[in-house]
Every structure is written in C-alpha cells, then in structure tokens.
Chains A and B, each alone.
Chain A
Amino acid sequence: MGVAVTGVGIICALGTNQDEVMASFRAHASGIGPAQHLPTRHRDDYVFGEVPLSNAALAAQQGLPARLSRTILLSHHAAREAYASVPATLREEQRVGFISATSVGGMDKTESFFKDYVQASTAGDLRQVINHDCGKSTDFVAEKLGIHDFVTTISTACSSSANAIMLGARMIESGQLDIVVAGGADPLTRFTFNGFNTLMIVDRQQSRPLDASREGLNLGEGAAYVVLMRADLAAASGANVFCQLSGFGNTNDAHHQTALSDDGEGPFLAMTQALAAANLQPADIGYVNLHGTGTENNDLAEGAAIRRIFGEAVPKLSSTKSFTGHTLAASGAIEAVFSALAVRDGLMFPNFSFATPVEGPALRPVQQFHVDTSVRHVLSNSFGFGGNCSSLLFSRA
C-alpha cells in the first residue's frame, strides 16, 4: 500500500519550526550552549541543547496556560505545525491517529512537586504531579488537535519516537488508520541530566560524535512529529509528499541495560530488517542519520554495525546530535524530519565538528551542510536504554 510522509513539525535547540531549524543548519550554527531555563546547579559546568524559550514564552506562542508541563508545551508546538499540513476535509473524513512518545512524561513538574513532598507527604502541589504519566501530554495534544480515532504513547527510552513512527506506518498499512501524526517530545529535566551525568557519559564541551576525542553526549530537548498518510490518499488529495517511509526494523540488543554490544548486533539487525522490508541493498542507501550520541560505547557499537552492513562502501553519514543535543524520546522523530528533508531536497546534514576518526570503525561524517540530489534512500537510527534498537528507512516517492 505504501505510507507517505506529508508533513513535519519540529522544535529543538536549533529553532521553533522547520524554517528556523533549517536556517540554523545553513548558517552552521549549533544549538548547544549554556542552559537559560533548566534549573540545574550544573548550569555553568555543562552545555545543553535547550529550546531557547521559557515555558511562559512557549505557552504564549500557542495560546496555552504557562502552568502546563514543558513536555506538553513542546509536544503541542511541533504536533500543531505538522498537523497544519492536513486539510480540514481530510481531518474530518479520514481515520486519524496520534501516536506520541516520551521518556520522562511530566517529570519537570514532578521534580517541583517532590521538592515539597519529601518534607511532608501532605505537601506538594497536586496540580504539578498530575502531569507525571507519559499519556498526559499525548491526551492533551490529541484533544487540542481534535484527533480521536486512535491515541497512544510509546516509551522505549531514546528510541521511543522512532517506534511511534513505525507503529503509525504499520497501522496505516494494515488498514486501521488513514493518517497518523507520529513522533515524540522530551524536555530537559534535572532527572535525566543528572541520570546521564552519574553514568559519566555527558561531555562538558560540545559533543563530538565519531571523533576520537569524543567524551560523551550533550543533553537536549525538543519535539517533532511527521504526518504519515496512506500513499494513495496522499496522491489523490494532492498532499505535499516529502518521501515514503519504505522500511523499518525494531530489535533488542539483549546485551546490557545501558550499553550496546561490541559488535552492534541490535543496530545491525535493525538496519538489516529495514533494508529487507524496503527490498533494498546497502548500496542503495545515500545517507545515514546516525544515532551518534558521542559516547564511546555508542560510536563503537554503531560504527561496527555500519561496517558490517556497508563494508568499505559506507554512504554519507552524520550525527545531527552535535547540533541539537540528545533529545531522548524526541530524537528519533527530530532525525526523521531531517531524513525526510534529506530525501526530498537532497539536504546532507553535517556533524558540527570533526577532526580524527575513531579507531576501529573509522567513519568520517559529512562536515558541510550541502545538497546532493542523487540521494534516493536514507536510513535513520535510534537506540536506547534496555537495548531497544530501531531503524527507519525513507525513500523518494
């Protein structure tokens, strides 16, 4: 049947919509810098990929109350941009789903609640903690957008929104839905920042994925959604088709709760499945948007998997996390947006900086933002805690 990508919405450290984000790439301006809004005492010691707006400013842009969780404010911002591409007639006549993803839910609000709660179990503002569960933000945004035929939330750590996009495509292919807004959102929180920091995988400087000098990731935040549409409906309705979602793979590395296996078996299987689903060969791939967190373990394992699949003939590849930071559950969808644009417009996204390849995989990323219209097929990788590995494959329509 085929599933087309017909709309995108994005908010991250690079900008609050698709145009702003692309302008940042064209100017080679990364979003990594000191945090202005995350209330961490490590603010001066680390850099972040923070969305440069306060909750109040984010809320005002959307006509929403500022007391909402940052997860909701980011999710609604990007989902609204994506869904604006769907005309009212299709919204009314077709079966539409909203599949979102988050790893921390309303943790930003729960942190505030807990500060008082630990003093006395009768203390703490309940209006904060009601945001805690992952489904809260999804339901809020679905109701605002008027989507009700199917609504759910996926939470598989850093691969969450790639899995949301995958499920959306499968529900369209099986005939259960016609249009799905799929993606995810995660805000910066002290919970996640300190969690990654205790693992000693946060770089104090801007992250350098694939570079021998890499020392870890930068934490980021954001949200992104793609509109997936039944391909025949997209054609019949004259939708602006970015690309097809031609394949996907979901596997578990089953090796370790927080580290990938040395040979990258989970990533290898996910990419292999995606290629097989699309009936493509490795040589067909023109660009890979890597998971590329910049940790020692990720770059070795993902690099090993890339070498196992592509051998010496490695396609153009890069990690955009050196521009956005690692946006956790949002990263799969943010990078799906980049991948869709890479297919449609031939945009080749660079690493922010690169000097020396990592010994072993020895991958060399794209270093300049440029256009390569020969690219027909793009792979996007997302891996997470718990060994969850997902790959999405986007192809020219």
Chain B
Amino acid sequence: MALFIHGIGSVDPAPALGHAPEPAEARAGNRLHAIEPNYLDFIDARASRRMSRIVKMGIAAAVQAVRGSGGGPVDGVVAGTGWGCLEDTVAFLQKLVVNGEDMLSPTSFIYSTHNTIAAQVAYHLKCRGYNNTFSHRNISFESALIDAQLLAHEQPAQRLLVGGIDELTDTSFTVLSRLKTFKSQQPGGPLDELYDQGTPGTWAGEGATFFLVSGEAGPTARAQLLAVRTVSFGTPEKAAAVARQLLTANQLTWVDLLITGENGDQENDAAIQRFATDFGHSGPVHKFKHLCGEYPTASAFALRLGAELLAGTESTPRPADIPRTILIYNRFQQQHQSLMLLQAC
C-alpha cells in the first residue's frame, strides 16, 4: 500500500530546507513562526481578505503541492489539525464571554470548525471528492495519512491532497506556556541549541504542509511512503518493536537515516533515546524540531524533510551519502507515538 509523493507544499518556519533559517528571522523568544509567502501567488485578493491565517496557510501549501506535482485535478482532500482554527475559535469565544450572548456576528463561528481548512481547499480547487479532517493530538497528520493510504489502496489512480496544519496564536502560546509546555529560559544562539540543555519544555512552532499523493508511481514521484503507523498508550520499546515489524514487512533490515522528534524536553528526548537504542539504528540521525518548533502536526514537516532528502538528487548513480530509506519516529510528551517509513523512488 505504498503512497507516492508527487508534490510538496509548505508554509512553515523553514521554507528552504537546504539552509536553516536565520534564528532572528523565524524565532521570537521561545516561538518559531511560519515564514509566510505572498498569498496573492495562491489566492485571489478578494477571497484572501475573508480568510483566516490558518486557512491561507493551508490553501497556499495545498496549491504549492498541486503545482509541484505538475498540476492537474485533485480527487480528494484529507487534513489533520491538532488545534484546529484557533484564531476564529478564540474570536467567537471572546465575544461570547465579553459581550454576553448578544450582539454576536456569525463570521468567526462559521470558520471555527476544524474541517474549515480541508473544506476551503476543496472549495478553492472545486474538488467534490472525498474530504475528511482528523483532530487527534500529535497523530492528527498520521491519521490523515492512514486515511489517504486506504484511499490509494481502494483506487490507486486517485490524486489526493493530504496535509497537516496547525497555527500558533498569542492565546494558545499563553495558555500552553502556563501549562509549562515551553522552556523558561530565552534562547539566543543557533537554532540547534534547542537540544541537550537538560531542561524541561520545548519551543512553540506551527506550520501547514500538504502532499499531493497517489497509489501510482509515475515520473513525478519524488519518494514513497511504505508505511505509516501510530502507537497509542505504549512504551518506546513497543514502538521500536512495531518499527522492526514494518522493516521486515517491507523486506528491509535497516534504514539509511532515522529522523526523530526530539523537542528539547528532557523527558521527551530521553524516551526517544530509549526508542533509538531498542530499535538498534547505527546510522545517522536527523532531528527537525529546531527548524519548525513543536506542534501537533510537526510530523508533516518531518515527512517533508524526509521526502526532500530522498529526492535530493537526480544524478545516477546515486551518491552514497544520499539516503534511500528513512524511518521517521515522532512523539510528544506522554501522548501518542508514530512511525513513517519512506523509500526513494
């Protein structure tokens, strides 16, 4: 049930993956924010004025993914978002609480539902096909991928948009800070100072990343997702056992590269070490959350990183230092774990 990635679009804190963004550009205190494109390249001005930031981020990423695949129709849209449309949710809630239950306008309510992003992408592309939205914490994107994989298995020729989208707002940053999600010390150095501080907490992040995928390979395929699995309420060792099963099921004995979701929180990162040790990986390891920050669908950023590394060269023979297989392992605090196994095309 391989899923071939034909196009990638992303609005996140690290638009050019080859070179990490300047810390001053993407980071404000313990927050990494998406570096936004000129939305008029993707959405006409009139429609854009009505849209919230997360919807614009989502549509821009989706349109980029379609263009990256060489264009063409889209048969379905599947999205994952852990936090949903926070800006509009907070706007309506604030008016409700401050004004009382009178004098409210419907606009922010209308756009507050979690499915607004996938719905607006479908509306923008006039896509009447399959449409679904998952909101399940840090496996929202993986759930969407599992759904897309099923769709591709059912009808391999379908061209599907699958993405992960989360926005950070001042309100969510404040509330998550009070919940001690983020580091208390302020950063000042390079982005990778996120790691190895031996302190609790992480940096906040956000991003919208869409993939144009199908069950068929073809000339535009840049990488293939061999498997995606979620592991709920289990130990790192259980996830490592699932990872070994995935390799075996795909006739692999090792992967060239492991991408892991360390976020600088000492407990979270210790659990990732337990996974890596038990899995027994001896090759290189890449981390990614210093580039995008922590958010429920950060794994979509990791998939982008993995797919772009696999597609990194068109020269043959393939240089030895460019990986052919990648395993992505993500987790966040005590929530769920996920695995994505990727192979070059």
Task: Tell me whether A130 is interfacial, beta carbon within 8 Å.
Answer: yes
* B interface secondary structure, majority: mixed
Binds B, one of A17-25, A108-116, A209-217, A303-311: A108-116
Contact A152 B136 (CB under 8 A): yes
A150 to chain B: which residues have CB within 8 Å?
230, 232
A256 to chain B: which residues have CB within 8 Å?
123
A338 to B105, CA, bound (A): 35
Given the known A-B contacts A251-B131, A254-B126, are A194 and B104 also in contact in the complex, defined by CB atoms under 8 Å?
yes
Question: Which residues between 301 and 328 of chain B lie within 8 Å of chain A, taking CB atoms?
Answer: none
Size of A's binding interface in residues, CB under 8 A: 63
Given the known A-B contacts A114-B97, A126-B179, A252-B128, are A135 and B136 also in contact in the complex, defined by CB atoms under 8 Å?
yes
B123 to chain A: which residues have CB within 8 Å?
252, 254-257, 387
Contact B133 A42 (CB under 8 A): no
A118 to B82, CA, bound (A): 23
Task: Tell me whether B174 is interfacial, beta carbon within 8 Å.
Answer: yes
A255 to chain B: which residues have CB within 8 Å?
123
Task: Tell me whether A30 is interfacial, beta carbon within 8 Å.
Answer: no
Contact A252 B131 (CB under 8 A): yes
Task: Tell me whether B255 is interfacial, beta carbon within 8 Å.
Answer: no
Contact B116 A154 (CB under 8 A): no
Task: Tell me whether A195 is interfacial, beta carbon within 8 Å.
Answer: yes
CB distance from A52 to the nearest CB of B (A): 23
Task: Tell me whether B157 is interfacial, beta carbon within 8 Å.
Answer: no
Contact B136 A385 (CB under 8 A): no
Task: Tell me whether A188 is interfacial, beta carbon within 8 Å.
Answer: no
Contact B136 A151 (CB under 8 A): yes
Task: Pick the most buried of B119, B137, B233: most chain A CB atoms within 10 A of its CB.
Answer: B119
Write out, one digit per residue, whether chain B residues 124-138 have a CB within 8 A of any chain A CB (1) or not (0): 001111111111110
Task: Tell me whether B56 is interfacial, beta carbon within 8 Å.
Answer: no
Contact A148 B134 (CB under 8 A): no
A266 to B122, CA, bound (A): 12
A163 to chain B: which residues have CB within 8 Å?
132
Question: Which residues between 217 and 263 of chain A lie within 8 Å of chain B, taking CB atoms?
Answer: 250-258
A118 to B111, CA, bound (A): 21
Task: Tell me whether A388 is interfacial, beta carbon within 8 Å.
Answer: yes
Contact A157 B113 (CB under 8 A): yes
Name B residues whose Cβ lies closer than 8 Å to a Cβ of A.
1, 77, 82-84, 92-94, 96-98, 100-101, 104-106, 109-116, 118-120, 122-123, 126-137, 139-140, 143, 146-147, 150, 153-154, 174-175, 178-179, 230, 232-234, 335-336
